[in-house]
Amino acid sequence: MIFSQIFDMVNVGIVILDKDYNVFKWNRWLEARSKIPSEKIIGKSIFEFFPELNKSWFHRSFKTVMSFGNFSFFSQKLHSYFFPFKASNALDSKFEYMQQSCTMGPIRDKNNAIEYVYIMVQDVTEIAAYEQKLVELNTEDGLTGIYNRRYLEKKIEEEFARHQRYARPFSVVMADIDFFKKINDTYGHQCGDFVLQEFTKTISASIRKVDIFARYGGEEFCLLLPETPGKAAELVAENLRDIVEKSSYRYGDTDIRFTVSLGISELSDGVESAKELLTRADMALYKAKKSGRNKVVLH
């Protein structure tokens, strides 16, 4: 009686399975999250209700616990969740399902033989969401939502090291919105923020998933293009320049149009550091702006 009360009062999910994967116990925590009452699931195979568990990894862990009495652990960072329960909106997280840390262990009878296996489920969505927020704060630009300079500099160092080891092509594009100060002076800083946000949406929608797009500072942006030699990067930059020039953005009652200048550098044998690669792209950008703007220059 005391065991049953504790079993249903604890703030974790506990399911007990027999050797044939049939549910022997299903506590109140699991009832509430799964919407499956204990009287409906007890005596039935767990796979009847959760067919996604009928996989080799689950059978392997279950048999190890049942045969040898070992414990198995399933971490949120590696597995995300065990049971697909809908997540609460903890800290406005982006998780569709509750993030869980789980333990699978043996239950022995009075003769010390393993009779059942228990699975304990802990909701760690709030912790995972908090960690997610910390990562976002460290990697995302607050205004535009793209990567920030700190993350960019980390990634460019990684790509530089990869090039040194495997000699794979890699290019960097620096971009600067032309006459941005004039936009701020004419329409106000809120419009300027709007332009930065719309510009990043336009570029983000026009690049590959493997490309890294980041705000470098102010109205200056940087695009990392892995597996891309200089001439191919020049074509990418020219396409982006053309898209921006042809785009129009509605701010209140005003149509805002602007252009962008772009400078490119390619990682070649003469480049000795990631910082030098960025400097070369910045020099090419400076040349593009000095020669009339709305241009692409390859260093």
Query: CA dist 237 to 224, 241, 242, Å?
Result: 11, 6, 9
Give the single-character DSSP code of 261.
Answer: E
User: CA-CA distances (angstroms) from residue 11 to 39, 120, 155?
Assistant: 20, 10, 41
115 tagged catalytic: no
Rounded CA-CA distance 155/146 in Å is 14
Query: For 71, which DSSP code?
Result: -
Distance CA 215, CA 41 (A): 52
CB atoms within 10 A of CB 121: 23
Rounded to whole angstroms, how far apart are CA atoms 176 and 287?
12
Cα separation, 241 vs 52, whole angstroms: 47
Q: Are strands 296-298 and 260-266 parallel, antiparallel or unpaired?
A: parallel
**84 Cβ contact partners less than 8 Å away, ≥ 6 residues apart:** 50, 52, 97
Which member of 219, 245, 272, 276 is catalytic? 219
Report, as residue numbers or ranges, the catalytic residues. 219
